[in-house]
Amino acid sequence: MFLESIITGYAIMALNMINILPLRNFAIPEPEISAKVALIWDYENNKFLFKKGNLENPMPLASLNKLISSLVILDELDLEEVVEITPEALNTYGKAGGFKLGERVKVKNLLRAVLMQSSNDAVTAMVEVIGSQNKFLDLMRQKTNELGFNYFRFSDPIGFSKENVGVPKEVISLAKKAFDNEFISSSLKLDKYNFESVSGFKHTIYNTNELIDNSNVIMAKTGFTEEAGQNYVVKVEIQGNPFIILLLNSGDRYRDTLVLIQWLKKGFIWF
């Protein structure tokens, strides 16, 4: 028995060395999902376990765009800095954070509104402090270059335009970078967040991630526009192993995610 365990241990080490773990269980068929493009990245083994669609074709990001916007904001602003909500911020198209004209709000609270509920007015308010939209877009491009990405294209900081695009492999790498950031990860793990602005107004922010209570889900960022469809990038954990799932142009991102989680559990042999 002792000798058998040693042999098994060496066998697993050898499999790890040639990077074929986890072993695919081909009795379980490939998953059927609605997303036009999907990827599963295996942190532990540094490889993709699932690919669907054209991975070289730039895809609209929708609010996944806010991951790079958030990284830029964290570079440029102090979390305790106070920002005043302007008419331009309140007039920003799309989801709003319920802020009031002239309200003074700390960056950390605006950024949580961006990450948790995709608040477009919060993004605009912080962009105005940093400078013009064009300056912010330049900073977004500089950040992607700094991170080694080549194919992101940005038209606005919030992700509304279909001209905000990225190739799937770089999008999943961006998500990995963002999820590794302490402030971003702690925000995305929250179901809701209560705070009071410097002006004395109370707010409650709810996370748009409908799978936040799923035991396998660690954190996620959602995105949606008519052109992009339902986008979703989520970090999950299966039997102690972390993965990132990326879904682009999904018809039902939450169902797709649950299908892929079950496929990860059953479609591989874990050691």
- Which pLDDT does position 218 carry in this prediction? 98
Q: How confident is the model at residue 22 (pLDDT cuts 50, 70, 90)?
A: confident
127-144 pLDDT tens trace? 999 999 999 999 999 999
Query: Quick one: angle between helices 107-117 and 120-130, nearest 10?
Result: 140
155-168 pLDDT tens trace? 999 999 999 999 99
Res 3 pLDDT > 60: no
Task: Give residue 261's identity as a one-letter amino acid code.
Answer: I
- The span from the CA of 72 to the CA of 137, in Å, is 10
Res 204 pLDDT > 50: yes
* 1 or 22: which leads in pLDDT: 22
Asked if residues 62 and 231 have their Cβ atoms less than 8 Å apart, the reply is yes
Evaluate if pTM is beyond 0.85: yes
Res 239 pLDDT > 50: yes
98-120 pLDDT tens trace? 999 999 999 999 999 999 999 99
Q: What is the mean pLDDT of the chain?
A: 92
Q: Among 208, 205, 206, 209, which Cα is nearest to 245's?
A: 209
Query: Across the strands, what pairs with 268?
Result: 24
Q: How confident is the model at residue 185 (pLDDT cuts 50, 70, 90)?
A: very high
Lowest mean per-residue pLDDT among 3-12, 84-93, 190-199: 3-12
Burial class (CB in 10 A: 0-12, 13-18, 19+), 169: middle
Asked if residues 107 and 77 have their Cβ atoms less than 8 Å apart, the reply is yes
Q: b/e string for 216-240 if b means 16 or more Cβ within 10 A?
A: bbbbbbbbbbeebbbbbbbbbebee
Compute the average pLDDT of residues 21-28: 88
- The span from the CA of 71 to the CA of 170, in Å, is 15
- Which pLDDT does position 39 carry in this prediction? 98
- Which pLDDT does position 11 carry in this prediction? 44
Q: How confident is the model at residue 19 (pLDDT cuts 50, 70, 90)?
A: low
- Which pLDDT does position 270 carry in this prediction? 78
67-109 pLDDT tens trace? 999 999 999 999 999 999 999 999 998 777 899 999 999 999 9
Query: How far does the chain reach from its first CA to its final CA, in angstroms?
Result: 18
HEC profile of the chain: CHHHHHHHHHHHHHHHHCCCCCEECCCCCCCCCCCCEEEEEECCCCEEEEEECCCCCCEECHHHHHHHHHHHHHHHCCCCCEEECCHHHHCCCCCCCCCCCCCEEEHHHHHHHHHHHCCHHHHHHHHHHHCCHHHHHHHHHHHHHHCCCCCCECCCCCCCCCCCEECHHHHHHHHHHHHCCHHHHHHHCCCEEEEECCCCCEEEEECCCCCCCCCCEEEEEEEEECCCEEEEEEEEEECCEEEEEEEEEECCHHHHHHHHHHHHHHCEECC
